Structure 1
Amino acid sequence: MTDLDTTADTSGRRGIVALDGRRRPGPPALVLVGHGSRDPRALRTVLALMERVRELRPGLSVRLGHIELNEPLLPDTLAGLGDAPAVLVPLLLSRGYHVKRDIPEMAAGATAHTRVAAPLGPHPLLVETLYDRLLEAGWPTAPDDAVRRASGVVLAAAGSRDPDSAADTRRTARLLADRLGVPVVPAYATAATPTVRTAVRALTARGRHRVAVASCFTAPGRFATQCAEAAPWMSSAPLGAHQAMARLILHRYDQAVSTPATLRNRTPASA
């Protein structure tokens, strides 16, 4: 028989309670931080992804907060946690202003101790999701040499003026190129160049006449739709509630939990 028991309080936090009534702290809550979108499909997709995470880690308190446009907003989610510690996992695919400034500033106003995890990209699990979405769109599972020589991919991302964001997207493109065995050119919906249409023309000029667009967006929305419309051959769906994305979220959470405090105070890396 053990002298400990697990329980959950009314806020959904789990902890360990000794028989003398003293609570030992459980793991920090995992707060998914979405950007927010006016497209209703985006919120539905993020909620489905959140359920995937809960299925993989039963008992972990998993919450959602948005930077803008959708409720709940991140400050409201953190206020609802009271003094419970939390790890904020950005549903963003590279470093940039939101990861470096917006999210830490929102977290600084919370009562609880918070940690900001690295963004989801670049990472092999992100590439696994991109690859599977391309296969779903019709990318050949075993292309021969002739097909490879004629094919290329444009990796369509949101875009940012932050050079770290562009570096992360280029790294994701290189990882995807290694997986596919064809050139992958990063392109952006806004704030950076090249555009998707420009990247498509560049690949075509190199003799790559079968050009697919890989949607490097967490969920459907305006940017994802615009980039898909520029695809001359096929366009994959956004990343969505893929099992690998849920695993990646938990990986970033675990990284943040295990990182010493002196390192957590630096800008999150995306290795």
Structure 2
Amino acid sequence: MTDFAGPSLVTVAHGTRRAGGNEIARQITRGAGVALGVGSTAAYVELSEPLLSDVVAGLAGPAVVVPLLLSTGYHVRTDLPRACAGGPVVLGRPLGPDPLLAQAQVARLVAAGIEPGRPLVLVATGSTDPLAWRDLRAASHLLADSWGVKVRTATLGGLGPRPEEVLTPDDAVSPYLLSPGLFSRRLAEQCEALSVPCADVIGPHPLVVDLVVERYRDLAGGARATA
């Protein structure tokens, strides 16, 4: 039996009815747990089990909760704090924006055969929260720093322009989505209709695992204090 030391790691993704999308969170969580040498559990806000509130209620010791969410929004500001209330946990901030995510996006663009320097549009799910739009713009700037050209921003809902309003035949699309699901499928269909190349979702890239490890280490001391 493995002897784990330190607070456990709990990640929380949105959750989807598409099994493959939920598996992405589990892969990231397993990788981070192994790298840290701690027990790890992937939880979800909705649409998949285990729910974060149930995981927190069943904890036997302190834990660090790392959201696998890419920007601020209702889940981050309301649902997650509510699910963690009263538990022996420290809740981290959203995973994005972060330079490691931008580097992972570049890797997906290169893997898709998109030539360096091609104009990009970062496309996210979107939110009605102005802070989420701020985060998406920051993510676009970070991607531009890594890709080397200006990156425009579009969303599939909420604040911001829609992809079809900003895309041109010269562009390529970088999905600011962690997992496949309804939104990635819709985006792929739009890009195909417009004959615009589209990279894969960010997924369980090693840099995403590194980012979860980094967030855990930043918070582990506070989690120990809750014990």
* TM-score, with structure 1 as normaliser: 0.76
Q: CA deviation at 1:258?
A: 4.5
Describe the SS at the equivalent of 1:101.
Answer: helix
Structure 1 counterpart of 2:163: 196
Q: 1:183 maps to which residue? A: 150
SS of the aligned residue for 1:234 comes to coil
Question: Secondary structure, in 3 states, of the residue corresponding to 1:64?
Answer: strand
Structure 2 gap segments, 5+ residues each: none
Quickly say closer, same or farther: Cα 1:69–1:244, change in 2 above 3 A. same
Match 2:92 to one of 117, 122, 137: 117
The residue aligned with 1:159 is 126
Which is strand-richer, 1 or 2?
1
Q: Which 5+ residue runs of structure 1 have no aligned equivalent? A: 1-6, 9-13, 15-25, 262-271
Q: Does 1:78 align with 2:53?
A: no
Counterpart Cα distance in 2 of 1:137 and 1:153? 13
Higher relative contact order (CA 8 A, sep 6+): 2
1:250 and 2:199 matched: no
Q: Is the 8 A contact 1:215 1:228 kept in 2?
A: no
Aligned residues: CA RMSD: 2.0
259 and 76 in structure 1: CA distance in 2 versus 1, 3 angstrom threshold? closer
Q: Call closer, same or farther: CA 1:116–1:38 in 2, change over 3 Å.
A: same
Aligned match of 1:132 = 107
Tell me which amino acid in the other structure corresponds to 1:183.
K
CA gap of 1:246–1:260, structure 2 versus 1, over 3 A, is closer
- Paired residues, what number? 221
When residues 175 and 91 of structure 1 are mapped into structure 2, their CA distance, relative to the original with a 3 A threshold, is: same
Give 3-state SS (helix, strand or coil) of 2:119's partner.
strand
Residues 208-241 of structure 1 deviation map (CA, whole Å, 9 limit, x = unaligned): x421110111100101111222223211111111
The Cα shift of 1:94 comes to 0.9
Percent of aligned positions with the same letter in both sequences?
A: 36
TM-score under structure 2 length normalisation: 0.90
- The amino acid of 1:137's aligned partner reads A
**Greater helix content:** 2
| Letter of the 1:178 counterpart | D
Aligned counterpart in structure 2 of residue 223 of structure 1, from 180, 183, 187: 183
Secondary structure of 1:38 counterpart: coil
Alignment partner, residue 30 of structure 2: 51
What is the distance in 1 between the residues matched to 2:150 and 2:158?
23
